[in-house]
Chains A and B, each alone.
Chain A
């Protein structure tokens, strides 16, 4: 299993270098690397399921000086999601980019991004986390600005500066932690950190830095332009995976490292910001005139739901109710990853077919592309949180936790947010009904349409119907 862990980092890294050196066969190399990485993720997931949390020290150097890799239920699940989403987006990207120069620039950065994601999810100490966080940010920015157009470059620049600001704050927090406790290892720190001014400051700094990167309201201003002007496969990965990575770090810090330091008041603050994100993001998604902007604002809203869990996780006593809520959180995060990626890929297909993604003018295109429209419908079902999607189960746990803890505000926010999501999704789907004749084949270009359909199907059907074992897997994590 340690081979799987190392493979998850080494394979995409090697692939990135290979695509750089062999630009002509870059696509084949990239897809091959993607497949291999997905297999490694699958092996790791089964390994964690059977053996429990895994641990590996690179080079045999023990924690403290060495780099430790850790995989538990949570990280294994996120790694699997990363692999599947990135693989599907890679297949789509192989058909999206037309010129050789675009491809030559795209694949190395894409595989570096994947490396950074995997390494971040496997990191067991703060130093490694900082490095991978930076790698993630830089490759994401480079990919976002790939089209070279003015809007994209400006948005990417803002993304970069915000990201750097966040990283600096994160680093400042890390230095405070090291000053206080003399170690950077996550497992060791979770035993040692105790409430006190230095711990609070470190928590505040690191959280703020990460909130900037995960675009929690009101620090979300950079996200809509950046995700909306990036190329479709990049938007998919940015919305589905990159912001999730920062969120994963917030989760780890709050539930593992700073578990004794966090107060219900602080958790309530996160919850309130999450509520703001849900309402603000959903409202702006409803007003959006372009599909990609709608999807980007939807990301802001959906991330808000994830933060609504924080006050519940702190208010509920340790026990089955809390475990159910934690599982709901992960299920919601996973479903959103698949659904949002599927949505962006489907939007990409539409954008390429008619040259624009204005919602009001969607009629003809939506009807000519039944498979893609169906993918949007499935993704929409998962984003609204309707059964049988995984998001339904996640929202159920959110509502149940809110009732259990007596915190009714989150219940109301979730209900209103879901209805707003239904409004903006069905606003788009309304255009699928019209007078154009039904095309003879539901799927026109396989490489472009199947990835979106499969990702959306994963979110709307597979996760919801077969997600029960996930809760057991998570007992090995949070």
Chain B
């Protein structure tokens, strides 16, 4: 039965697949970084779906903690990646 939970979970999976495709196929580094972030968003969605415990009940905090951690990690990693990309561009301009 297509409950909201399953819908969220499937959507999450689809977004993960889209992100994975983008990460593997795109040529430009920036596009790849964005694609990985999209993948991350998909996984978070999956986790949020997993956190649902039933109508009216408070959601499970553990997956939420995972999502928050994941967001923090994704942000820091993206920042590092972008810093490295900038450094590469700077090097290229020096050549």
Q: Is the CB of A168 within 8 A of B66?
A: no
Main SS class of interface, A: helix
- Residues A130 and B23 in contact in the complex (CB < 8 Å), given A168-B39, A175-B43, A184-B62: no
Contact A172 B16 (CB under 8 A): yes
- Closest approach, in angstroms, between the C-beta of B77 and any C-beta of chain A? 5
Contact present for B88 and A150 (CB under 8 Å): yes
> Could you mark each residue 25-41 of chain B with 1 if its beta carbon is under 8 Å from any beta carbon of chain A, else 0?
00001001100100110
Looking at A151-159, A331-339, A400-408, A425-433, the stretch in contact with chain B turns out to be A151-159
A175 touches B16 (CB 8 A): no
Residues from chain B with Cβ under 8 Å of A153 in the complex: 84, 87-88, 91
How many residues in A have their beta carbons less than 8 Å from beta carbons of B?
Answer: 30
Query: Residues on A close to B: CB < 8 A?
Result: 65, 127, 130-131, 134, 137-138, 141-142, 145, 148-150, 153-154, 156-157, 160-161, 164-165, 167-168, 171-172, 174-175, 178-179, 184
A273 to B85 Cα, complex, angstroms: 32
Q: Are B50 and A178 in contact (CB under 8 A)?
A: yes
* Chain A residue with Cβ nearest B13: A172
- The CA-CA distance from A175 to B48 in the complex, in Å, is 9
Q: Are B63 and A161 in contact (CB under 8 A)?
A: no
Residues of B within 8 A of A (CB): 16, 19-20, 23, 29, 32-33, 36, 39-40, 43, 46-47, 50, 62-63, 65-66, 69-70, 73-74, 76-77, 80-81, 84-85, 87-88, 91-92
| Most chain B beta carbons < 10 A, residue from A150, A164, A172 | A164
Q: How far is the CA of A184 from the CA of B50 in the complex (A)?
A: 13
A154 vs B88: C-alpha distance when bound (angstroms): 7
Q: If A134-B73, A165-B23, A167-B73 touch, does A127 touch B66 (CB 8 Å cutoff)? A: yes
- The complex places the Cα of A157 from the Cα of B32 at a distance, in Å, of 11
Of B66, B70, B85, which contacts A157 at CB under 8 A? B85
Bound together, the chains give a CA A107 to CA B16 distance in angstroms of 36
A sample of 22 inter-chain contacts (CB < 8 A) reads A65-B62, A127-B65, A137-B77, A141-B84, A153-B87, A154-B88, A157-B85, A157-B88, A160-B77, A160-B80, A161-B23, A161-B32, A165-B36, A168-B36, A168-B43, A171-B47, A171-B70, A174-B66, A175-B46, A175-B47, A175-B66, A178-B66
Q: How far is the CB of B4 from chain A (nearest CB, A)?
A: 15
B46 touches A142 (CB 8 A): no
CB-based nearest A residue for B66:
A127
Whose C-beta in chain B lies nearest to the C-beta of A173? B43
Q: What residues of A have a CB within 8 angstroms of the CB of B77 in the complex?
A: 134, 137-138, 160, 164
Whole-angstrom distance between the alpha carbons of A472 and B85 in the complex?
49
* A134 vs B74: C-alpha distance when bound (angstroms): 9
- In the assembled complex, the Cα of A164 lies from the Cα of B81 at a distance in Å of 10
Measured in the bound complex, the distance between the Cα atoms of B92 and A65 in whole Å is 48
Pairs A-B, 10 closest by C-beta atoms: A179-B50, A157-B84, A134-B73, A150-B91, A175-B47, A168-B39, A172-B43, A164-B36, A171-B43, A153-B87
- Chain B residue, CB-CB nearest to A151: B91
Give the docked Cα–Cα distance between A153 and B88 (Å): 7
